[in-house]
Amino acid sequence: MEMELIILAAVLMTAGFLSGIVAGLLGVGGGMILVPVLFQTFIFFDLAAHLQIHMAVASSMAIICFTGSLSACSHFKRGAVDMEVVKSWGAFIAIGALAGAVAARFIAPGGLKIIFATLALTMAARMLLNENPGEAGEARIGAAMQKGLSSLVGFFSALMGIGGGTLSVPLLNASGRDVLRAVGTSSVFGVFIAIPATLGFMLAGRALPDLPDYALGYVNLLAVLAIIPTSMLAAPLGARLAHRLSKKALNTIFAGFLIVAGGRMLIAIFV
């Protein structure tokens, strides 16, 4: 059992490091890596079945509060954050995230997986078929529609335990921002999503039966503390790498990430 715990700790720290690299590189929270790892971890510890997936999503959000903050700071220092968009969309994204976290307790995951997979694969196709991949272009979405869609980004990101970049980067790109600026701005939105979503998960899960002693609502503090150090170490490294890549390469990498994320959701529906 002792060796199993050592292996498990190593897996959690490795997952934290990888999620930090992904967070900094692509402006996402790293939840696509964290949620499945945390879910399997809670199964290993024989956590109550009704808590496992929700606690994985909530704990991922709590970790993104820290990872996302470092990633956002790194991109901001390099001038890749569009503060005008942050001021315009920020409140809508935060409100959507809080609503998503509270709603998570009452929503079945199957339909959300279909919606998420469809959005991810559609946006990947749009980015790959773009005649000027990764470059800024003419905004194809009106300002009012941008704000409305940004609230949905917050809502669905909270439900899936991700930092929002999977949805917000393509939205920012379609709104006229080049992919590097979209990634940098999305890293800020990850924090706008993670903080209210984490609070929402804490409130939504506070009175549930079978909560472990080291949990605040749906947030598992032991898992969060195990992953945060390596994820925070890696986030600035990922951001540095993003600024060394060409916009075309970054666009292609992000589109590939969307295909993997969307494909994983499709598989989860049928398996």
Question: Residue 96 pLDDT > 70, yes or no?
Answer: yes
- Whether this prediction's pTM lies above 0.85 is answered by no
Q: Are 183 and 91 in contact (CB under 8 A)?
A: no
d(C-alpha 195, C-alpha 173), whole Å? 24
Tokens of 25: 């590189």
The pLDDT of residue 175 is above 60: yes
Contact at 8 Å (CB) between 102 and 204?
Answer: yes
| 15: pLDDT strictly greater than 80 | yes
User: Quick one: CA dihedral 195, 200, 203, 205, positive or negative?
Assistant: negative
Per-residue burial over 249-260, b = 16 or more CB atoms within 10 Å of its CB, e = otherwise: ebbbbbbebbbe
Q: What are phi and psi of 220, to 5 degrees?
A: -90, 105
Q: What's residue 183's pLDDT? A: 83
Per-residue confidence (pLDDT) for residue 131, from 0 to 100: 57
What is the chain's Cα-based Rg? Answer: 17
pLDDT for the residue numbered 137: 52
Average pLDDT score over residue span 146-164: 82
- What pLDDT does residue 138 have? 54
Q: Which of 223, 220, 218 is nearest to 205 (CA)?
A: 218
Contact present, 193 and 94 (Cβ < 8 Å): yes
pLDDT at 205: 85
The answer to whether the CB of 265 falls within 8 A of the CB of 118 is no
* 100 phi/psi in degrees, rounded to 5: -65, -40
Q: How far is CA 112 from CA 8, 117, 145, 232, in A?
A: 29, 8, 21, 29
Higher pLDDT, 49 or 201: 201
Residue 139 pLDDT exceeds 60: no
Q: How confident is the model at residue 195 (pLDDT cuts 50, 70, 90)?
A: very high
H and E: helices and strands count for the chain = 10, 2
- Phi and psi of 136, rounded to 5°? -70, 145
Domain boundaries, the chain: 2-270
- Specify whether the CB–CB gap between 26 and 74 falls below 8 A: no
Per residue, the 3-state secondary structure of 207-262, as one string, reads CCCCCCCCEECCEEHHHHHHHHHHHHHHHHHHHHHHCCCCHHHHHHHHHHHHHHHH
| Per-residue model confidence (pLDDT) at position 109 | 58
- Least confident segment among 76-80, 150-154, 174-178, 223-227: 174-178
Q: CA-CA distance, 215 to 231, in Å (whole number)?
A: 20
Asked whether residue 62 carries a pLDDT value surpassing 90, the answer given is yes
**Phi and psi at residue 135, to the nearest 5°:** -90, 155
Residues above pLDDT 70, as percent of the chain: 87
Q: Kindly report, residue by residue over 201-258, the tens digit of the pLDDT.
A: 998 888 888 888 889 999 999 889 989 999 888 878 887 887 787 777 877 887 787 7
